[in-house]
Amino acid sequence: MAALIKKQRSIVVILFTLLLLLSFLSILAGSLYISPFDVAKVLMGFGDETYSLIIWDIRLPRVVLALLVGIALGVAGAIMQGVIQNPLVSPDLIGITGGGNVAAIAFLTMTGGRFSIHWMPVVAIVGSLLTGLLIYFLAWKRGASPTRIVLIGLGISAAMSALIIYFIITGPTYLTAQAMSWLTGSVHGASWLSVGTLTPWVVILIPIVIYASRHIDVLQFGEQIAGGLGSSVQRSRLLLLGASVLLAGAAVSIAGGIAFIGLMAPHLARKWVGSPSIRLIPAAGCIGGMLLIIADVMGRTLFSPLDIPAGGFIALFGAPFFIYLMLTSHKRGRGSS
C-alpha cells in the first residue's frame, strides 16, 4: 500500500513537471518561432527587445491563462464527479458553465456593449453560482441526492442552451461574432489583467478543496456510512459543489465556454493516480492545464495566420471521448447486472 501511494505521488510530481515543461515549450510556438535559448534569456531579463515584447505582452499571458483555466476546469470536474459519484458529469454537462455563458451573453447583448467588458467576469461568475444554487434547490428533497442533481442539471443545461440562442438572435447583429467567440472558448487576447483576475480563485480555492478532499472519499461509501463516519453529508456536498461551481465559473468568466476539460481530465488522472482525491485533484488540474495549452498551441499554429479558438479543438476530442465513456460505462453496467 505504501509503495502504491509513493508511486501515485511520483506520478503527480511528474504531471506537474510536464505541465511546466509544456508551458515553456508553448511559448516558442507561433507565427514567429522563438528558440528555447532566446525564450530563456527573455525570462531571465536580458533577451532581445522584440522577443521580449512578444513573450511578455502576448505569449506568456496567454500560456499562463490557459494553464490556470485548464487547472480550474480539471479540478472543478474532479470535485463534481467525486461528490455526485458519477464519472459522466462535469460543470459544462450539467449546466454550470452554461449559466455563466447565459449571464455573459445576456450582459453583452442586452447592454449592447455599452458597459465595460471588465464586468464580464463578475457577471459570468454570478451566473454560474446562481445556476448551481438553482440546481441544488430543485434537487432538494430531504437532501440533494446525486441522481436528482444530475437529472435536473441536464434539464437546466438544455434550458441554458435555449436561452443562449434566444439572446444571440434577439441581440444586436454586430455583437453576434463576439458572442459566438465567447461561446467557443478561447484564451486569444489574454492579458496580465485577465491572469490576475483568475489567479486568486485558483490559488485560494484549490488548496481548500485538497484539504477537504477526504469528505469526497467518504461520500463514496454512501450517505449513511459517511454520516456514521462523522461527515456532515449535505453540508460537505454543498460546500464542495460550491467550490466546483466557483472554479468553473471563474474559468468561464475569463475564457468563455470551454467544454469537456472537466470531463476528460479527471478520467485520465484516475487512470494514473487512482481515486484518492488528495492525489486525484492535483493530477486532474495538471492534466486540465496540459489539455488546454495543447489545444491553444494547435489553434494558433496549425492554421496560421488564423487563430482558431482552443475550445474548438477541445470539443473535437472531447465529444468522441464522452461517447466512448457512455459506451464503456453501458457495457460495464451490463456486465455487472
Q: What is the mean pLDDT of each run of 10 residues along the chain (337 residues)?
A: 84 96 92 89 86 92 96 95 85 89 86 66 88 88 75 90 88 77 82 91 93 80 56 75 91 88 93 89 96 93 83 86 74 48
- State residue 108's pLDDT score: 81
Q: What is the DSSP string of 121-186?
A: HHHHHHHHHHHHHHHHHHHBSSSB-HHHHHHHHHHHHHHHHHHHHHHHHHS-GGGHHHHHHHHH--
- State residue 337's pLDDT score: 40
- State residue 222's pLDDT score: 61
This prediction's pTM = 0.89
Q: For residues 278 and 209, give the distance between their C-alpha atoms in angstroms, rounded to a whole number.
A: 9
Contact predicate 318/260, CB 8 Å? yes
DSSP single-letter state for residue 116: -
- State residue 332's pLDDT score: 52
The letter for the amino acid at 17 is T
Quickly count: other Cβ atoms within 10 Å of residue 158's Cβ.
12
CA quadruple 167, 314, 289, 243: dihedral positive or negative?
positive
Q: Which of 88, 87, 24, 20 is nearest to 59 (CA)?
A: 24
- State residue 336's pLDDT score: 44
Determine the number of helices (DSSP H) and then strands (DSSP E) in the chain: 15, 0
* Contacts for 149 with CB less than 8 Å, ≥ 6 apart: 84, 94, 135, 136, 139, 241
Q: For residues 244 and 97, give the distance between their C-alpha atoms in angstroms, rounded to a whole number.
A: 11
Q: What is the DSSP string of 211-228?
A: HTHHHHHHHTT-HHHHHH
Contact predicate 322/260, CB 8 Å? yes
Cell numbers standing for residue 149: 442533481
- State residue 226's pLDDT score: 54
**In which residue are the cell numbers 474532479 written?**
78
Cell numbers standing for residue 185: 472558448
